[in-house]
Amino acid sequence: MTPWEVKGEVDYDRLVRDFGTSYIEQSLLDRVEKHVGKPHFMLKRKVFFSHRDFNWILDKYEKGEKFFLYTGRGPSGDTHLGHLLPWIFTQYLQEKFDVELYFQITDDEKYMHDRTLTRKQVSDFSYENILDIIALGFDPEKTFIFKNTEYIKTMYKISTDIAKHITFSTAKGIFGFQNSSNIGMIFFPSLQAATCFLPSELKGKNIPCLIPAAIDQDDYWRGIAREIAPKLGYYKPAQIHSKFLPALQRGEKMSASKPNTAIFTTDEPEVAEKKIKSAFTGGRDTIEEHRKHGGNPDIDSAFQYLYMILEEDDKKISEIEEDYRAGNLLSGELKQIAAEKTKVFLKEHQRKRESAKKTFDKFILRD
Ligand code: TYM
């Protein structure tokens, strides 16, 4: 796994061990509940399963020191449901803790990483992706979305402070750069790390940072930002990590670079329905076998979409899970439930996306 590619099935326990992170435990859920009420279903269901220093963020919060949220998007294509997963959770954190969010659009990264992408394409995807972000209901007063190529005047100073402390050998060890890697990509991690310190720099005081994202982005925090923070006099950024929404096919993550693995926010609802109907199933080969032995929701893409993102109601999701395991609910029936939910979600999201065009400018941070 690198920030640019996740191959095959992911062993999350191994990542927790190798990256030295902590599991989200009940005591942490209790602490969240104390402040903001019932924890989000993604926390309870361990979709967000791992963290680093989230307890420290809450310690600070309890002492009246507010944190800010930081997350981002590399605009290499249309937004898919997997991208929305950490963003929906980020919106919940913003609303409940009433905090600022800095949202980085790494248009430089994607332009340099993928030789086939033109400037125009990256710029169009940036715009389209930002509509998806705004559609999720972030607070316009407290949300600052910026594109690296536009906001570089402010970002450059912090990035060079960081880059000065990172050798090529370290970057190569973390990100697997080769002699054939372009030099833009070698510098790029310092820009993704820089946002961890941006509000502290802008406001002239240290502000704790919490990053909600899938675990594929951890290299930047573990390897760069947290290493450099003490050298520059900043707090180390904290993280909360999600699992990956699976692809339509078995054993991969949903990925924009492989369009046939994904449901896009711009898909016609009927197209999304067809995709779900052809998704990988944990059902048995025949109805008789399924009724007798039951299905396996753990590997069933339609079930995972419901569990991880679409069905908020805990009671409903447990009933679906039990019925599927018991063989009472057939794979086709499960897919129908997921397809209906997806269609409703997409129609609503596409409506909000349209009205985001009107509020777009309110969210954009410029120097
Ligand atoms: P990008 O555009 O690859 O991904 C955007 C966000 O979506 C998450 N993600 C997923 N989450 C669940 N299931 C999936 N199948 C899935 N695929 C992607 C990613 O973890 C990410 O949170 N370089 C970054 C942009 C960036 C960023 C950040 C991301 C800049 N600063 C800070 C997170 C936090 C990128 O290309 O993300």
pLDDT tens-digit series, residues 39-68: 999 999 999 999 999 999 999 999 999 999
Share of the chain above pLDDT 90, in %: 95
Q: How far is the CA of 305 from the centre of ligand 1 (A)?
A: 18
**pLDDT computed for residue 259 by the predictor:** 80
Closest by CA to 21, choosing from 176, 206, 243, is 243
Cβ contact 261:235 at 8 Å: no
Give the pLDDT band of residue 251 (cuts 50, 70, 90). confident
Residue from 49, 79, 149, 216 to probe ligand 1 pocket by mutation (most atoms less than 8 Å from CB): 216
**Does ligand 1 come within 6 angstroms of the Cβ of 200?**
no
**Does ligand 1 come within 6 angstroms of the Cβ of 281?**
no
Q: How far is the CA of 251 from the centre of ligand 1 (A)?
A: 19
Q: Which of the pair, 169 or 255, is modelled with greater confidence?
A: 169
* For residues 155-178, average pLDDT: 97
**pLDDT computed for residue 241 by the predictor:** 98
pLDDT exceeds 90 at position 1: no
Q: DSSP string covering 301-333, please? A: HHHHHIIIII---HHHHHHHHHHHHHTSS-HHH
**Does ligand 1 come within 6 angstroms of the Cβ of 145?**
no
pTM of the model: 0.98
Give the list of residues 6+ apart from residue 319 with CB closer than 8 angstroms, or none.
none
Our CA dihedral for 75, 309, 221, 73, rounded to 10 degrees, sits at 10
**Does ligand 1 come within 6 angstroms of the Cβ of 75?**
no
CA separation, residue 310 to residues 145, 204, 243, 340 (Å): 25, 40, 15, 10
**pLDDT computed for residue 44 by the predictor:** 97
Using CA atoms, how far apart are residues 145 and 73, in angstroms rounded to an integer?
Answer: 10
Q: How far is the CA of 25 from the centre of ligand 1 (A)?
A: 24
* For residues 90-110, average pLDDT: 98
**pLDDT computed for residue 300 by the predictor:** 97
Nearest ligand 1 atom to alpha carbon 3 = 23
**pLDDT computed for residue 144 by the predictor:** 98
Residue from 1, 6, 69, 73 to probe ligand 1 pocket by mutation (most atoms less than 8 Å from CB): 73
H or E segment to which residue 29 belongs: helix 26-36
**Does ligand 1 come within 6 angstroms of the Cβ of 74?**
yes
Q: How far is the CA of 363 from the centre of ligand 1 (A)?
A: 19
Q: How far is the CA of 173 from the centre of ligand 1 (A)?
A: 21
**pLDDT computed for residue 9 by the predictor:** 83
pLDDT exceeds 90 at position 261: no
* For residues 264-282, average pLDDT: 96
**Does ligand 1 come within 6 angstroms of the Cβ of 349?**
no
Q: What letter represents residue 225's amino acid?
A: A
**pLDDT computed for residue 220 by the predictor:** 98
Residue from 47, 79, 217 to probe ligand 1 pocket by mutation (most atoms less than 8 Å from CB): 217
* For residues 320-348, average pLDDT: 98
pLDDT exceeds 90 at position 257: no
**pLDDT computed for residue 7 by the predictor:** 84
Q: How far is the CA of 256 from the centre of ligand 1 (A)?
A: 11
Q: In what order do the strands lie in the sheet with 22-23?
A: 22-23, 48-52, 238-242, 209-214, 68-73, 101-105, 143-147
**Does ligand 1 come within 6 angstroms of the Cβ of 72?**
yes
Q: How far is the CA of 70 from the centre of ligand 1 (A)?
A: 11
* For residues 274-291, average pLDDT: 96
pLDDT exceeds 90 at position 282: yes
**Does ligand 1 come within 6 angstroms of the Cβ of 147?**
no
Q: How far apart are the first and last CA of the chain?
A: 34
